[in-house]
């Protein structure tokens, strides 16, 4: 099965605390989860070729998770991409991306490669390359079309990503089923219904996981640590983790 290679293009929340880049990560240099505004810059800094990405997987449509997509598409258009690419997200992803993309770069979608759009509802699945994704509805911004986490399987390894969410049964189920869980955690002890916090929520997620499973936290401020939580770490910008 082999190790999972997880590279964080950013780990901050919408307010970029302490100068952190906005949250997003790449698995095996092929699957980018979220498209934060600086995604292309971070990929370049980490030596990851944006043309090697097979898919971009979006959890929801807030700007810190979405607005880097036009720059990725721009790179693909002008820097020789010929392989097909897939954009996965909740309902309305294609419509929103095309509206924004054509507004800022009018010829963005006149491409030499095939661009596939996959929009998932709760409990729907998709196969992208050798990555199997199952969407899980999570609790975040009810004004958006849908907020998703993803249960994933890649080369026999089971991992999940919560997306932005408050504590809910979907994230507990993902924790129970995963060898690796990447969890959004927006504060230490502030209680915000649409976000997880470190003091109340993360220990409950950790307890739902197998003892040997790995929990990686993102979306936090730069001075936060995981304390004494078992097999838990706080991701840092531009760092790689082999798990």
pLDDT of residue 28: 97
For the chain, which ranges sit under pLDDT 50? none
Q: What share of the chain is helix, strand, coil (3-state, %, to 5)?
A: 25, 30, 50
Q: How buried is 200 (Cβ within 10 angstroms: 0-12 exposed, 13-18 middle, 19+ buried)? A: middle
Tell me how far apart the alpha carbons of residues 213 and 166 are, in angstroms, rounded to a whole number.
21
Q: What pLDDT sits at residue 2?
A: 87
CA distance 143 to 160: 24
In sequence order, what DSSP letters do the residues of 73-119 get, joined into one string? HHHHHHTT--S-EEEEESTTHHHHHHHHHHHHSTTTT--SS-EEEEE
What is the pTM (predicted TM-score) of this model? 0.98
Q: Mapping DSSP to helix (H, G, I), strand (E, B) and coil, where does residue 136 land?
A: strand
Between CA 47 and CA 214 the distance in angstroms is: 25
């Amino acid at each position: 099965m082999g190790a999972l290679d997880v590279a964080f293009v950013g780990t901050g929340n919408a307010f970029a605390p302490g100068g952190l880049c906005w949250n997003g990560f790449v698995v095996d240099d092929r699957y980018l989860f979220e498209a934060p505004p600086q995604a292309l810059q971070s990929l370049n800094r980490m030596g990851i070729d944006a043309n090697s990405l097979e898919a971009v997987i979006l959890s929801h449509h807030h700007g810190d998770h979405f607005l880097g997509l036009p720059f990725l598409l721009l790179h693909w258009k002008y820097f020789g991409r010929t392989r097909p690419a897939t954009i996965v997200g909740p309902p309305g992803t294609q419509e929103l991306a095309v509206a924004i993309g054509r507004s800022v770069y009018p010829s963005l979608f006149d491409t030499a490669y095939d661009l596939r759009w996959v929009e998932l509802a709760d409990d729907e699945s998709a196969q992208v390359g050798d990555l199997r994704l199952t969407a899980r509805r999570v609790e975040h911004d009810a004004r958006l079309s849908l907020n998703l986490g993803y249960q994933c399987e890649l080369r026999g390894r089971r991992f999940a990503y919560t997306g932005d969410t408050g504590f809910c049964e979907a994230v507990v189920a993902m924790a129970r089923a995963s060898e690796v869980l990447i969890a959004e955690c927006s504060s230490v002890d502030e209680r915000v219904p649409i976000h997880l916090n470190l003091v109340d929520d993360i220990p409950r997620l950790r307890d739902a996981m197998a003892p040997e499973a790995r929990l990686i936290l993102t979306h936090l401020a730069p001075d936060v640590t995981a304390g004494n939580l078992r097999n838990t770490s706080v991701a840092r910008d531009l760092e790689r983790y082999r798990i």
